[in-house]
Amino acid sequence: MRVDLSDTVDVLKANFDIRNVSLPDLKAKAKREAQEYARRRDAEHGCISCPTTYQEPGYWHGGHYLKAETHSGVMLDDMNIHKQCKRCNIDLDGNKEGFRKGLIERHGSEYVTILEERGEATRRYKWDREELIEAAAKYRRLNNFMRNN
């Protein structure tokens, strides 16, 4: 299914004077929307990288398998972001080993190979404002859809 995002992009553009919003702020906004999307998509699952299903407000994060700081190209790639517990994401610094194991269990090893290759190929990718706004719009649209269904 293809979702027409043009209206959401227009709304976001109307709300953002992109000349006045810094690139890091746009990046943070797009990232927050992508992370919310991953948490909603994975609502039925526990943590991607450990066995916990513990429930507490704020306990669930949208964790990156390949970190945005080292693999900028997959920062907003939904394959790279999964619902993850706070302990794995913060205390265990992403729990990469558990994350990899969880991805293979849930999606298969080919998924991880594709993601790792894509991550390596786009390690130093530089996002521009338009791309960040479009990514934020895409995930916002999906989040609104999931919130209402």
Could you tell me the smallest distance in angstroms from the CB atom of residue 142 to Zn ion? 24
| C-alpha span between 35 and 83 (Å, rounded) | 8
Q: Does 74 bind Zn ion (CB under 5 A)?
A: no
Could you tell me the smallest distance in angstroms from the CB atom of residue 34 to Zn ion? 19
| C-alpha span between 127 and 24 (Å, rounded) | 10
Place of tokens 């990899």: 100
Q: Binder to Zn ion among 26, 30, 50, 81 (CB under 5 A)?
A: 50
Stretch that binds Zn ion, among 16-24, 79-87, 100-108, 131-139 (CB under 5 A): 79-87
Stretch that binds Zn ion, among 21-29, 82-90, 109-117, 118-126 (CB under 5 A): 82-90
| C-alpha span between 50 and 46 (Å, rounded) | 8
The two tokens of residue 47 are: 């943590």
Residues touching Zn ion, count (CB under 5 A): 5
Of 105 and 117, which has the nearer Cβ to Zn ion? Answer: 105
- DSSP-derived secondary structure letter, 28: H
Say which residues have a Cβ less than 8 Å from residue 90's Cβ, sequence separation at least 6.
Answer: 61
Could you tell me the smallest distance in angstroms from the CB atom of residue 30 to Zn ion? 24
Interaction with Zn ion in 29-48: which residues (CB under 5 A)? 47
| C-alpha span between 35 and 66 (Å, rounded) | 14
Stretch that binds Zn ion, among 3-11, 32-40, 55-63, 85-93 (CB under 5 A): 85-93
Three-class SS of residue 14? helix
Which residues of this protein are in contact with Zn ion, per CB under 5 A?
A: 47, 49-50, 85, 88
